[in-house]
């Protein structure tokens, strides 16, 4: 049975979304972005979009430098926000990467068929050796 790329991607995405660890990490990422967005909106006086933009750019470690906190409280918050937020975001990315590698390594039906064929051939070869040994002994 040949499976298409769309089927494989759908199966992979479904397995990730059904994993409870994914839910926890996704919520952590969204809460972290939400906290940053709300903080920068309230303390720095930025618009919602600017605050969200800065939060995403900061946590993804891109840091364009086009906007930055100007208050001391904002800068102090950013220090701790980056330390905690980057760790959370990397944990989320690590989980998805780990699942992708596990999915790729998992045996596909084609690999199972090849493995079974190799086992059958190995058993036949072993049986031939055994019968040859019996003939030599006689």
What gap in Å lies between CA 6 and CA 69, rounded to an integer?
43
* CA contacts within 13 A on the Cβ side of 19: 16
Confidence of residue 1 (pLDDT cuts 50, 70, 90): very low
Q: Is the pLDDT of residue 5 over 70?
A: no
What gap in Å lies between CA 52 and CA 72, rounded to an integer?
20
The string of pLDDT tens digits covering residues 15-58 is 788 888 888 999 999 999 999 999 999 999 999 999 999 999 99
* CA contacts within 13 A on the Cβ side of 84: 14
What gap in Å lies between CA 64 and CA 58, rounded to an integer?
9
pTM higher than 0.85 for the full model?
no
Q: Mean pLDDT over all residues of the chain?
A: 85
The string of pLDDT tens digits covering residues 60-74 is 999 898 999 999 999
The string of pLDDT tens digits covering residues 107-118 is 556 666 777 778
């Amino acid at each position: 049975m040949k499976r298409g790329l769309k089927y494989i991607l759908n199966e992979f995405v479904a397995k990730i979304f059904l994993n409870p660890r994914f839910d926890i990490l996704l919520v952590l990422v969204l809460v972290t972005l939400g906290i940053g967005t709300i903080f920068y909106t309230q303390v720095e006086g930025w618009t919602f979009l600017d605050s969200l933009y800065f939060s995403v750019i900061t946590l993804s470690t891109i840091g364009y430098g086009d906007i930055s906190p100007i208050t001391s409280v904002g800068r102090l918050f950013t220090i701790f926000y980056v330390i905690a937020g980057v760790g959370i975001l990397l944990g989320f990315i690590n989980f998805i990467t780990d699942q992708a590698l596990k999915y790729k390594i998992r045996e596909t039906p084609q690999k199972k068929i090849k493995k079974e064929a190799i086992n059958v051939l190995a058993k036949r070869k072993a049986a031939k050796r055994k019968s040859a040994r019996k003939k030599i002994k006689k």
